[in-house]
Structure 1
Amino acid sequence: MRRVEAAACSFWLCTSEPATVTVTLYPGVRMANNPGAPFAASPPTELRKFGERLYLGVVTVELGGANGGAPLTPGAIYSYDVSINGRTLTDEGLLEDQNPTGLPRRFALGYVSGRLPSFVTPAPTLDGLRIAHASCRKSNGDGPDALAWLDDWTDEHFSNLDGERIQQLFLTGDQIYADDVAACLLPMLNALGIELLGREERVVVDGVSDSLVRVNATSLPALRRRKLVRDVARFSSTECDNHLIGFGEFAAMYLAAWSPHVWREIPGGEALLDQLFRPLSDGVPPALCALLTDWEGCHGGREGTSAWREARGAEVLAERERVIAWRNSVGRVARLLANVPTYMIWDDHEITDDWNLNQRWRNRVYRTALGKEIVRNGAMAYALFQAWGNDPAAFATQGPNRDFLDDTARFLATEGLDDDGRREGANVIDRLDRALGMASGAPNTQVRWHYQVPGPRHLVVVLDTRTRRKFTGQGIAPPALIDSGEQLPKSPLVDGRELLIVVSPPPVIGPFVLESLGAPLFQTVGDFLYGGEHAAIRAERLCEPGGHVTGVEGADAEGWGANEPAREELLQRLAGFRRAIVLSGDVHYAYTMTVDVWIGNDPNGARVVQLTSSPARNNFLSIVEAVLRRHALLERYQAIDVPERLAWKGKASIVLPEGAQIKPGRRARMRRAPALVPAAGWPAGTTIDEPPDWRWRARLVRDERPESQLPAWAQRPQLSPEDELVVEKPATHLRAYRAIAARHQACALGGGYRQLRQMVFATNVGVLALNGSLFNNSPTPRNGNELGI
């Protein structure tokens, strides 16, 4: 299920054979054997060929207006059946559970045998709106797959009698991880990619001039791609031993993430180790051998394969167990995506870690042939598997989006020719690169990945924060993530809509204990390690090609907080709507924040609510969570810190009393344009000449419900009455202390309880239900002429 509006609903399909598809809608919940009269149907639509066994398309049912019939009713359930070459979902066996041996379980798409899948349209009022969002779902990550929990939710509320069924699902980035791929998974993806295309791809690798390099398990084996990716493509990913390279591998990764039907058995134990830990084939050209990770050299020469196997084998087998756990959830995720209108936007890992981080990264990577090959292949896969269904009309009408689909089909067909034939497709490659912003060209030739989704009472604006960045200089300066005038609508909302929802993959604002303290510290440490390492000779790092990355790359210094002027511009734009919600992911922990913004002397502030859900399956660094949870000072700072900022378009109009001293950093902030300074911590007697042009206050929201109102699994163990400490009875003290210590230990070490009231580090998915509480009781702003002393 993809885009749903009152006058149209779209369905994304992928088949292994040529297919003509028709989708038929029915009102309400329906069984396949007696669905009743149809509500509407799509015209027969032929899926488009992108490989010998790769046919893709978006099928749209158009309603109302010139198409006749009634539009979809807000808040209503509609079931649907799909005819593929005349065969229905029943004929294809998709409405029955199947449990093949050694492969993911396949679930009936209607949740019970013989029932059609269905969806719910957005509610007619804001209080009836139910939206889910998630991000960062990694195949080899730790923890459960949070999207499978959302499948449970859909099953529980399928008939929507309580109004709790999800109406829109936003996947806010890192739907796949192209860089961090499990060693056990890459051989399956490579073989599947070859099967999808009907041939082995070839890619240009800098330094291998005699021929194009085949993307197969012999030339580009698992566990040996790090040196190629770091030193040849010049990427900055540090987890890239098995980086996806060919288009077929990217396509296979998407299918493995969403479909149980494409999986093959993954060997385990010694069979897996035999497959992965082996010397390079004699058929690999010497020039290419020199560009692959030399594990034998790392472990003592030509006979080092066994030592390499001994050193990494246990890690590979443990990683396989995590992949199998992810694989076992794929059938449920497929069922979820067939029953909830789903919208997507990419972040960096769909291509590679730190993609388009800064101008230095772009200059370094886009000067290499291999770097551009990988980015191009990943972007073509993103267009087919994610972007097309977000806004089908943009890919159906004349313009850069449709041209990109056409050129993708031409490129994949040309790539199957011999070397000379492929090089004749240079014009197609050039157009693709210009459309992706990798080569210079007119702005109107670039693909538009951002889009909007209107609802009855809300408007969702999905931002592309990866390919429309504005860079300053040629170095590491953090970019402005968007041109706000291009991607955001003008305020206020029109057509009766009351609420703006913005999807920004990186959060607009985050907890200051991490954003203002943790990230700069991490960046400084990274720069220290990078500088010390590069005083040595890079070529000596056989076991870790590429070495450490810079602090900017390691700390991902590219979010909204890294470029304050760009964030301030965005907050001002959002303030014009009075109420706005931002849905984000990216950071591998979840939280809610409110930001109250006042423009000029207007006493009526606006409120922006930041909702962050991450990860669906990729836990945050355990050391960071441990420090936050066990350091009393950080816990206290996190709980009470309420950042307030005053801002002027030019320099700050603040007058310090004679002889007063402030820190150099604060003085520097006063002199910037725009000037953004804290509202507190000024010397006594400090005054303001001109009131600030805008100001804001942020607050990290805490779940304040009494413990008795939390779900049973989230409640801490309770002390029994006989374990209570009675001060007047010394005989009870030791027993009570023991009981209290035991409870504390159970909470700290037990897997069932985690601190979830403020920042959630467990895998998670967010569900949004509007009851007004986050928009009510907006605090009164501090007087514009007062500073916190």
Structure 2
Amino acid sequence: MICGPILRRVEKSKVSVWAAFMANNHLTLKIWEGDNIEHSSGTLFTTGNTPIAEGESHTLQFGTNLWIGLVTVDIPSPGLDPTKVYSYNMVYHEIDDPQDFDFLKDKFLEDGKTVGDRPQLALGYKKNVLPSFCLPGETPDKLNIVHGSCRKMHGHGQDALALLDSKIKDNRQDPLKRPQALFLTGDQIYADEVPGFFLRSLGAMDGSSIFGPNIEKMKINAEGGAAPEHEADVVNYPPFFRQRLVNKFAGFSSQAAANHLLSFEEYAGTYLKYWNIRSWSGDMISEIKKIADASPEQLSAKLDEVITKFVDDPSPAADTNLVNLIKASRPTDAFVFSEDSITRAQFSDSNSDKFKAWLKETKFTLKHELKDMAAFMKKLPEVSRVLANVPTYMIMDDHEVTDDWAITKRWNNQVLSKPFGRDIIRNAMMAYAVFQDWGNSPEDYKEAIPMIFDDMTPSTHKKAQFLLYTGEYAFRYANNTKLNTLRTDVLEKMENLLGMGSQPTSLHWNYGLKLGTSQAIVLDTRTQRHYESLNTVPELISETSLSSQTPSTLTDNPPFVFIVSPCPVLGLPNFEELVQPAATAVIALKGKSDANPGIIGGNLNFDFEAWGFSIPGFERLIARLDSYKSVVLLSGDVHYGCTTVMDYWKGNATAPSSRIVQLTSSALKNEWLPNVLILKSAVVQKILTAFGDGLSKFGWKDKLVSAGGDVTARNRQRLRQTTAAIPIEGWTPGATVSPAPDWRWKVRVLKDKEGLKDDPVGATDIVVGNATSMKDGYFNVVSRHQKAYMEGKSPRIAWNSNVGWITFTADGDSWKLKHELLGAKMVYEVPLKTPVGEQARPELPT
């Protein structure tokens, strides 16, 4: 087992576990009631207790040496009890070998080392004890939900996902205190931002390759010619030389794509290595370990040692370093040199200034990447143990495919018109189905399990078909068979399912699940978008898809509903209303790039795709959420953590009809640097988050709206839209609008309740008119904020690595939510029903 176990969908009646192997295995999953199920005797795990349920399955092939399985256990009635903890073991044996292995025999239940000297932490937190899990609490006061996003291998900062490991360890026996469900809300891998050192080792294992000797071929348009197929390896597409290739030949917009993933095996290898160190090669571990174990005094020398060996080791035996690899590939007309004249010129002469500049820049990049990779590797065993002990649910954002994926209709057109672009996106989505979505919705894929790839019997479920095609793709390469008909038999059919032809996609990646008496609705905001024109910002979910993704009525009358949207629905008000549009406009005016001129360049540089940038799409979503009354939004994407609250009034109602609370937790490992310190200042955060006490808007749908008094030209233009939404703040007193708004809302970004508590002396000691009091009091206020700034404590927004922890307490006839950002040590509290003192609806100034 090279990756896993990863605990996936868990319900009262079903438990699913995912795992990856280097051979075809038969799988048996066993479930016990109890939190301390310990081994008693024998080479396999045995105990005096009988499992309450067992389930069987087998792996499917996704590479010569890559077999993956998801095994589901059906739990007999009355099902699992949310007040109890349960444990599990997996028994597996290769199809051609009856010898069984399990967690005990493979030494996964003890600290120490596994095969190949890879570090291992006991999956059950004690020696010879099984990993465990629990269901979400039946009532809100018994819920413990965690969430996070944006975990980049060489991202700066700590890996906040590992922080959950100690939380589980300390509360392993208590289902009311340990995490019950983990939502990973996007960017589980970074396909465009890949460390160069990592790219060279993606498929390597000790003594063999995960994917075997047969290399995938991808189509790429040659200059002035047809679209021949090239082997997608590090010879044709070397590390640090992929930026121009993916921009020019795939139509991508990412500007951090020097090592962009291309093939299915590269995407698959990245998932494996992001989740478990057992999939890393011994050579990769030993090189990174030199850096991880170095003292501060040794670090610089160790970095130089590893980088030189990787890039340009001058010894005659070092024929696999990057420079020699590229030099050796040039006589074979590797694509990167035969078709890309700029790259060819840059690398034509080892003594040229261009080559020396490339070498210097590459080594500088590697130095930073390797330090952050070393931090990632050190925490990986803890992350793997978290994934084995918490039911985990995932949804993609853009980096699982490429940065800015589907940002505009023009982007889609330019990428899907290029064979290379289609190949990369298809490969990414094949990996997404296997590594993420399969565990989200096991029922959607179960028809694929008993089928034989050669038969290719059509499944009645589209996702099962897609999984079968992915397996068939891997099978043909693994066995070097029927590759001449691969495109017509398999690839074109997958592209049709993905909507790359004339018809929209028939694959739907959204899903839902119960969380005690509440429920979660996980949105797909990438493949169901609507575009008004080629260059406009998108509605992240079309009107038709919103109706199918969010039910018009909720069953069982839940006290509130979780909505998972990878991109925050409620962003930072000033940032989305003023700062980001202004910055986008500046970039647009300066934009001279042939690939992304004008507004396209501005949109891409500033990720101009927040929900709020498309007023019709945003207001339609909010209106749907308003029908749920109490909503908790879980999001990531933006590399900060915060808590935002919206109160929503319908028509002329005097009290809000709903309260929507946005919880943003990002990034798990990808801090904004080098400017993160200034972003923590109270002044900057105030600028980004608030117009006075927040941001309020009026809205109308299909109305002719007139305004009287001194109204700005921009607001008059806004009132002419089919869906009109205008800020209330900033109007001249005495201005009027008619008819009355169809709705109105107010958004506020909350302050951390713990980070900026008043000192014993401070603002409360200021007595206006008393010179001494004012002098000393203001000095204390400034000192307190300066201290918080230097310590990295933020008043509203967390910019450092964070993972969110959500709990609830009773609050009259409703609930109060508590959102803790563990990495930032910030805490927010907000009632899910608007307090009486906050129910006054927004009005124009008089």
- Same fold by TM-score greater than 0.5: yes
In structure 2, do the counterparts of structure 1 residues 547 and 209 end up closer, same or farther at CA, with 3 Å as the change threshold? Answer: farther
CA distance in 2 between counterparts of 1:515 and 1:346 reads 23
Partner of 2:799: 761
CA contact (8 A) 1:32 1:90 kept: no
1:420 shift after superposition: 7.4
CA contact (8 A) 1:295 1:308 kept: no
Are 1:614 and 2:692 matched, yes or no?
A: no
CA contact (8 A) 2:530 2:538 kept: no
Aligned pairs, how many? 747
User: For residues 309-368 of structure 1, what are the alpha-carbon distances to aligned partners after superposition, in whole Å with 9 as ceiling and x for unaligned?
Assistant: 233313312211111111111111110000000000000000000111111000000011
Are 1:238 and 2:255 matched, yes or no?
A: yes
Partner of 2:821: none
1:514 shift after superposition: 1.5
Are 1:7 and 2:30 matched, yes or no?
A: no
In structure 2, do the counterparts of structure 1 residues 391 and 168 end up closer, same or farther at CA, with 3 Å as the change threshold? Answer: same
Partner of 1:666: 715
User: For residues 79-122 of structure 1, what are the alpha-carbon distances to aligned partners after superposition, in whole Å with 9 as ceiling and x for unaligned?
Assistant: 11111123221011110112479975211101111111000111
Partner of 1:247: 264
Are 1:473 and 2:533 matched, yes or no?
A: yes
Partner of 1:521: 582
Partner of 1:408: 470
Amino acid at match of 2:359: R
CA distance in 2 between counterparts of 1:210 and 1:552 reads 30
Partner of 1:41: 53
SS at structure 2 position matched to 1:20: strand
Among 563, 568, 572, the alignment partner of 1:511 is 572
CA contact (8 A) 1:173 1:505 kept: yes
CA distance in 1 between counterparts of 2:255 and 2:598 reads 8
Please, what is the CA RMSD of the aligned residues?
Answer: 3.2
CA contact (8 A) 1:172 1:584 kept: yes
Partner of 1:311: 361
Partner of 1:258: 275
CA contact (8 A) 2:647 2:659 kept: yes
Amino acid at match of 2:461: G
1:24 shift after superposition: 0.9
- How does 1:518-557 map onto structure 2 within 5 Å? 518-531=579-592, 533-534=593-594, 550-557=601-608
1:499 shift after superposition: 1.7
Partner of 2:337: 289
Among 153, 159, 162, the alignment partner of 2:173 is 159
Greater CA deviation, 268-277 or 568-577? 268-277
CA distance in 1 between counterparts of 2:334 and 2:754 reads 65
User: For residues 708-757 of structure 1, what are the alpha-carbon distances to aligned partners after superposition, in whole Å with 9 as ceiling and x for unaligned?
Assistant: 79xxxxx9999xxxxxxx9989xx99xx98x99998776544xxx21233
Amino acid at match of 2:193: D
Are 1:597 and 2:648 matched, yes or no?
A: yes
Among 49, 61, 81, the alignment partner of 2:73 is 61
Greater CA deviation, 400-409 or 678-687? 678-687
- How does 1:59-208 map onto structure 2 within 5 Å? 59-64=71-76, 69-85=77-93, 86-99=100-113, 105-160=119-174, 163-191=176-204, 195-207=210-222
Greater CA deviation, 197-206 or 398-407? 197-206
- How does 1:289-438 map onto structure 2 within 5 Å? 289-291=337-339, 294=342, 297-298=345-346, 301-304=349-352, 305-397=355-447, 398-415=460-477, 421-438=483-500
CA distance in 2 between counterparts of 1:8 and 1:382 reads 22
Partner of 2:552: 490
1:14 shift after superposition: 0.9
CA distance in 2 between counterparts of 1:294 and 1:324 reads 33
In structure 2, do the counterparts of structure 1 residues 309 and 101 end up closer, same or farther at CA, with 3 Å as the change threshold? Answer: farther
1:691 shift after superposition: 2.3
CA contact (8 A) 2:523 2:564 kept: yes
Amino acid at match of 1:172: T
In structure 2, do the counterparts of structure 1 residues 641 and 427 end up closer, same or farther at CA, with 3 Å as the change threshold? Answer: farther
1:632 shift after superposition: 6.3
Partner of 1:722: none
1:782 shift after superposition: 4.3
1:572 shift after superposition: 0.7
Partner of 1:276: 322
User: For residues 499-547 of structure 1, what are the alpha-carbon distances to aligned partners after superposition, in whole Å with 9 as ceiling and x for unaligned?
Assistant: 210000000011112211221122123223422x55xxx9xxxxxx999
1:231 shift after superposition: 0.8
Amino acid at match of 1:569: R
SS at structure 2 position matched to 1:571: helix
User: For residues 528-584 of structure 1, what are the alpha-carbon distances to aligned partners after superposition, in whole Å with 9 as ceiling and x for unaligned?
Assistant: 3422x55xxx9xxxxxx9999701111111220111111101111111111010100
User: For residues 393-415 of structure 1, what are the alpha-carbon distances to aligned partners after superposition, in whole Å with 9 as ceiling and x for unaligned?
Assistant: 01124311111111111222234
Amino acid at match of 2:153: S
CA distance in 1 between counterparts of 2:398 and 2:688 reads 33
What are the ranges of 5 or more consecutive residues in structure 2 without an aligned counterpart?
Answer: 1-6, 41-46, 94-99, 288-305, 313-320, 448-459, 763-769, 810-814, 817-830
Query: TM-score w.r.t. structure 2 length?
Result: 0.82
Greater CA deviation, 203-212 or 164-173? 203-212
Are 1:788 and 2:845 matched, yes or no?
A: yes
CA contact (8 A) 1:3 1:389 kept: yes
SS at structure 1 position matched to 2:681: helix
Query: TM-score w.r.t. structure 1 length?
Result: 0.88
SS at structure 2 position matched to 1:188: coil
CA distance in 2 between counterparts of 1:681 and 1:740 reads 29
- How does 1:714-729 map onto structure 2 within 5 Å? none
In structure 2, do the counterparts of structure 1 residues 477 and 680 end up closer, same or farther at CA, with 3 Å as the change threshold? Answer: closer
- How does 1:771-786 map onto structure 2 within 5 Å? 771=809, 772-773=815-816, 774-778=831-835, 780-782=838-840, 786=843
SS at structure 2 position matched to 1:43: strand
Amino acid at match of 2:799: F
1:176 shift after superposition: 0.1
1:633 shift after superposition: 9.3
SS at structure 2 position matched to 1:764: coil
Amino acid at match of 1:196: F
CA contact (8 A) 1:580 1:607 kept: yes
Are 1:566 and 2:617 matched, yes or no?
A: yes
CA distance in 1 between counterparts of 2:598 and 2:349 reads 21
In structure 2, do the counterparts of structure 1 residues 418 and 517 end up closer, same or farther at CA, with 3 Å as the change threshold? Answer: same
CA distance in 1 between counterparts of 2:63 and 2:469 reads 14
CA contact (8 A) 2:65 2:209 kept: no
The percent of aligned pairs where both chains have the same amino acid is 30
CA contact (8 A) 1:224 1:294 kept: no
Among 245, 255, 259, the alignment partner of 1:228 is 245
Answer 1 or 2: which has greater strand percent.
2
In structure 2, do the counterparts of structure 1 residues 433 and 609 end up closer, same or farther at CA, with 3 Å as the change threshold? Answer: same
CA contact (8 A) 1:649 1:673 kept: yes
Amino acid at match of 1:667: R
SS at structure 2 position matched to 1:59: strand
CA contact (8 A) 2:219 2:227 kept: no
